[in-house]
Amino acid sequence: MGTGILTIDLDAVASNWRALDALSAPGVETAATVKADAYGLGVAPVARALHAAGARRFFVAVAEEGAVLRDALGPEPAIHVYSGHMPGDAGILSHHALIPMLNSIEQITGHIEALPGHPFGVQLDSGMNRLGMEPDEWAAVTRLVMGQNPVLLMSHLACADEPDHPMNAQQLAAFHQMTDGLPVPRSLAATGGVLLGPDYHFDLTRPGIGLYGALPFEDAAPVVQLSIPVIQTRSLAPGETVGYANSWTADEPTRLATIAAGYADGITRHISNQGVLFHDDIPCPLVGRVSMDLITVDITHLDSDPETLQLFSVMQTVDDIAEIAGTIGYEVLTSLGSRYARRYVSGGA
């Protein structure tokens, strides 16, 4: 097999959903955010595992993702679309029974005109200034919109991964101000908000990243393993160089493995000469530059040439690699390329 094998533990996804669900009161519904192909892990198997664990409400970024998810889950679960109702979306929203989270007066009027009576929610801006209606805009149309029976009012936290950040309380107060007294379910918390505690939970939480085993959910069960086959090994004499731009030079006799993955598979060049792969529990330094399809690894200290090396395993998480690369686990996961063989395991398999 010439490609890396990305193993996705669906039991870990399910147990992360249950663990996040257990952090809110029984009356609070825990939904699941599965946008961007379930953060790169494959929306159909991941969403089915979440549904089996008990999730009955899902969130995606755009209507096209909602259509794919509807086909995977069947007619029953609720599917919400964060980007709302974009021009030309009426057919897909209606055909796949998707609930747009409307972000502006233009979206609201466009939606009511195009799909009268079709369920919708409203996204409010509590301070992040990314999506949703501003407080004064919302105040001007609250009565009119409430007359159309929105099914959910939501907002999003900008700094929830920093529990002590004053922005959290500020956004909480703004969300209360915009929604208190309205007879509609409310949602403010993604993964970070779930961890901030009950004040932030309202009626519904919608975690994403924590389900997939990454920060800020420190207690998450790891979900992904990535095993990459060794294509070739060789011995280098002191003074020989490795890879593009000669960026690494052997200063002693070195055994080198070339493995079958690179930046086209989402392994960023930013970990060139810095990342580490593992042979079971033995770290093996990545030497030279990450190239498009290949990575070179120093295996001098191993007893024998390995058949595969692991990038993600119990030894190293997506957050570990994110830290070396100067990014976040979200980006490492959603960058994982389409070339890996994705293997889904569950039931102790």
Ligand X SMILES: *Cc1c(COP(=O)(O)O)cnc(C)c1O
Please identify every residue annotated as catalytic. 35, 244
Q: 40 or 192, CB closer to ligand X?
A: 192
Work out how close the CB of 212 gets to ligand X at its nearest, in angstroms, rounded to a whole number: 8
Residue 235 pairs with which residues in a beta bridge?
255
Amino acid residing at 272: S
Give the footprint of ligand X on this chain (CB under 6 A). 33, 35, 82, 156, 190-192, 206-210
63: Cβ contacts below 8 Å, ≥ 6 apart: 81, 83, 86, 89, 92, 93, 96, 98, 100
Strand order of the sheet with strand 32-33? 32-33, 57-60, 78-81, 99-102, 121-123, 153-154, 186-187
Q: Residue 215 or 299: which CB sits closer to ligand X?
A: 215
C-beta of 64 vs 240, nearer to ligand X: 64
Cβ at position 35, least distance to ligand X in Å:
6
324 in Cβ contact with 294 (< 8 Å): no
**Residue (60 or 108) nearer to ligand X, CB:** 60
Between helices 63-73 and 43-53, what is the axis angle to 10°? Answer: 60
CA atoms within 13 A on the CB side of 71: 8
- CA–CA distance, 137 with 143 (Å, rounded to integer): 12
- Distance of closest approach, residue 283 Cβ to ligand X, in angstroms: 29
Minimal CB distance residue for ligand X = 208
Minimum distance from CB of 259 to ligand X (Å)? 30
Cα–Cα dist 55/95, whole Å: 22
E-assigned strand segments in 13-98: 29-30, 32-33, 57-60, 78-81
Minimum Å gap between C-beta 161 and ligand X is: 8
Q: Which is nearer to ligand X, 29 or 298 (CB)?
A: 29
